Structure 1
């Protein structure tokens, strides 16, 4: 590795791409660390470019990029992830055959949502892994196919770089067996590894590390990662002990287009009543339910918050109610709560949601300061992650009660780069 190590973090969501270029000085010695030094190195990674594409495959597509000498925000519609990724690479002179002003990329970190039973830690990808990764597509149909497409494109463009998959499910491998297993015949666990895997683990790992760097070492922590995909995690002494998503990302909270936990017999009844195929039912549960299904209009939280019709209001009430319920469950699982965190696109940016949730948690000593809560929302709506990590800028305290409550900007791309660099250093 050269004196200047340069990394790409790419996060392909179901309809979005987040893309960052990061770097740090020093070769292998800069990232080959002792255990107590590892978290501190998050502070040395510097983002030199950030890019985001949203609403892929729709007429509402958008493109944003910011670097040292560039800033662009435009409405651009992309047919698919391949078209979007190629646009990013061309825009930033990143194709291998473009020698003019092309950056040298040492490591590419890929978010991979479902690692299944075999992938429990970051993995340096070779050809032999691709077939196994393809077999996981059905476990996270909104994400894994997009993750794989991004991996295949980037491996083709950067054949000399190290490609590392960082799995969302890895953080939750510490969940104890009694919380991981479903009350099905144990045969299904023994034979098919039917268990709770959990997701958003990269985000939870980042928040956990960030609070530790800020010397906030809470023993009983609940983190709410609330975005179009949403989950909650109970963390005890730095380790996940339960989380709302399960064998697939469909379980748990109501989400943008996903139903979350429902009576398990409903899909069978719907299949019969609609004379529908399995694919149609899965499409309803994953893509046509949640905020979109109840509101009949949109899954966009901001848009729903601005509407005054009864279905939009009902969708938001159901959304917040389920968050409140899971927080209560996990407070019981932890035997108390030392701190509550809101993160993710909605969790960071919506003071309204945080206020709605916390007003029902006063029994646990949780109260928020309305002024701080509003200011945090306004701040994160304009947040710029360019440059090095700034702990103070990433964490906003919003409580007025005895239990700390935070709005925190999560940075999955930074966490991915961090884990990927450490993985390469250990080879």
Structure 2
């Protein structure tokens, strides 16, 4: 791999396109990162780029014809990267793909047949999968000769035992793929790797990682491997989230269909985009907005989030037979001091003793020195995990170098 080789990561959501650009070497130096936000909105779409030297760029996409989509966003992004890194070559693009079904337990090279197979999982992740694959197609058009790599959010959880992977339904449904897949796997895998560096002894033990953000879940790790997750067949299950409902009695769905006359599409819209903190509060999906609101509905929404998180934490601990470490990550886990304090209050019976001052200071360790369970706050980095996976796949498939025909220039 030449010094000019580049590795691009893409994380395409419904209205955003996150990216990071790395030098393609073992150290994976970060050269640029950012996102396009507001896709599909004629008034608000903007590109934000931060370069390694601290330089920042912001560019509006509102002048683009029609409503800017992922193809348009990638075109604008590539034009800016071309200006910043002239004549450097993108040899690989690593994509976050939320759903890999029961088959995929590791990253794979993408081709037309695989893209078609992955599209079949779109009903299981309607907010993510179609946009993930749209990002892949846009990158294929922009870099027709580059290696395209798919990294799956479900792959990390394929180590689950059967009891954590199934529902109490007739076995034929499990064989057809109706099972608990778990999500946020790239985040959990990144945290598992970094925890081995920060605290190798506890990383070999019983760890719960709480990825708390607009999407929220928890994962039980035993010696760095996922053994249980709060999310299930889709990314709706488990914890309440910004706009998603979390755990819900299935009888509610039967009631909505039979008594409220709601269609499948209407129920999907309700559960994915109008539930969670947004639905409970009637105000916002954003914890920062709710904390500042002061309204009774906002307080109750946050209290519900904390209550369900405490229940799930106890459940994940039960799956492990005890707890050695708890790691909080994601936008809420990394920044919401008040939510963290409420989540960890009065958990001495679990061996968790919070250090209030360390929590207020956003310290790396927020448990007291005497706490049997170490509580850490660790930033997650899904883009870095995408890059590490792509580098490992390229090394596994092609040794330490890539043939010239797999290169593609930004020019």
| TM > 0.5 fold call | yes
The answer to whether structure 1 residue 141 and structure 2 residue 126 are counterparts is yes
Q: Is the 8 A contact 1:57 1:79 kept in 2?
A: yes
Q: Which residue does 2:367 correspond to in 1?
A: 399
Aligned residues: 387
Match of 1:194 among 153, 178, 196: 178
Conserved 8 A contact 1:113-1:144: yes
Q: Given the superposition, is the C-alpha separation of residues 22 and 83 from structure 1 closer, same or farther in structure 2, using an over 3 Å criterion?
A: same
Q: Cα 1:369–1:278, aligned 2, differ >3 Å: closer, same or farther?
A: same
> Which consecutive unaligned segments of at least 5 residues does structure 1 have?
31-43, 378-395
Q: Distance in 1 between matches of 2:87 and 2:359?
A: 43
Q: How does 1:108-147 map to 2 (within 5 A)?
A: 108-147=93-132
1:102 Cα deviation after fit: 4.1
Aligned residue number for residue 210 of structure 1: 194
Pairing 1:163–2:145 present: no
1:3-402 aligned at under 5 Å gives the runs: 3-25=3-25, 44-58=27-41, 61-68=45-52, 70-73=55-58, 79-93=68-82, 101-190=86-175, 192-218=176-202, 219-376=205-362, 396-400=364-368, 401-402=371-372
Look up the SS of the partner of 1:92 in the other structure. Answer: helix
Checking the alignment, whether the CA contact within 8 Å between 2:5 and 2:88 is kept in structure 1 is no
Contact 1:211–1:217 (8 Å) recurs in 2? no
Whether the 8 Å CA contact 1:5–1:106 is kept in 2: the answer is yes
Residues 331-384 of structure 1: CA deviation (Å, up to 9, x unaligned)? 11111100001001111111111111000422112122222212218xxxxxxx
Structure 2 Cα separation of the partners of residues 68 and 174 of structure 1: 36
* 1:129 Cα deviation from its structure 2 partner: 1.2
The 1:113–1:350 alpha-carbon spacing in structure 2 relative to 1, beyond 3 Å, is same
Contact 2:47 2:59 in 1 (8 A): yes
Counterpart CA distance in 2 for 1:168 and 1:140 is 11
How high is the TM-score relative to the length of structure 1?
0.86
Distance 1:238 1:257 in 2: 30
1:324 and 1:360 in contact (8 A); partners too: no
Question: Equivalent residue of 1:196, what SS?
Answer: coil
The aligned counterpart of 2:383 is 413
The Cα offsets for residues 134-167 of structure 1, whole Å up to 9 and x where unpaired, read as 1111110010011001000011101111000000
Describe the SS at the equivalent of 1:265.
Answer: helix
Are the equivalent residues in 1 in contact too, given 2:61–2:68 (CA < 8 A)?
Answer: no
State the match for 2:405 in structure 1. Answer: none
Distance 1:320 1:15, change over 3 A: farther
Report if the CA contact (8 A) 2:217-2:238 is conserved. yes
Structure 2 segments unaligned to the other structure (5+ residues): 398-411
How much has 1:56 moved relative to structure 2?
Answer: 3.4
Deviation per residue, 1:277-301 (Å, 9 max, x gap): 2111111111110011111121111
Is this contact kept in 2: 1:196–1:245, CA < 8 A?
yes
User: Matches of 2:18 and 2:195 in 1, distance apart?
Assistant: 23
CA distance in 2, matches of 1:347, 1:79: 32
Decide whether aligned partners of structure 1 residues 226 and 170 sit closer, same or farther in structure 2, where only a CA change above 3 A counts: same
Q: Distance in 2 between matches of 1:118 and 1:408?
A: 30
User: Separation in 1 of the partners of 2:61 and 2:71?
Assistant: 14
How far the C-alpha of 1:73 sits from its partner, in A, is 4.7
CA distance in 2 between partners of 1:402 and 1:412 (Å)? 29
1:35 corresponding residue in structure 2: none
Q: 1:55 to 1:224 in 2, by over 3 A?
A: farther
Structure 1 position 86, deviation (Å): 2.8
Contact 1:9 1:108 (8 Å CA) reproduced: yes
Q: Is the contact made by 2:157 and 2:182 (CA closer than 8 Å) also made in structure 1? A: yes
- Deviation of the 1:115 alpha carbon: 0.4
**Normalising by the residue count of structure 2, what TM-score does the alignment of the two structures yield?**
0.89
Q: Which residue is equivalent to 1:388?
A: none
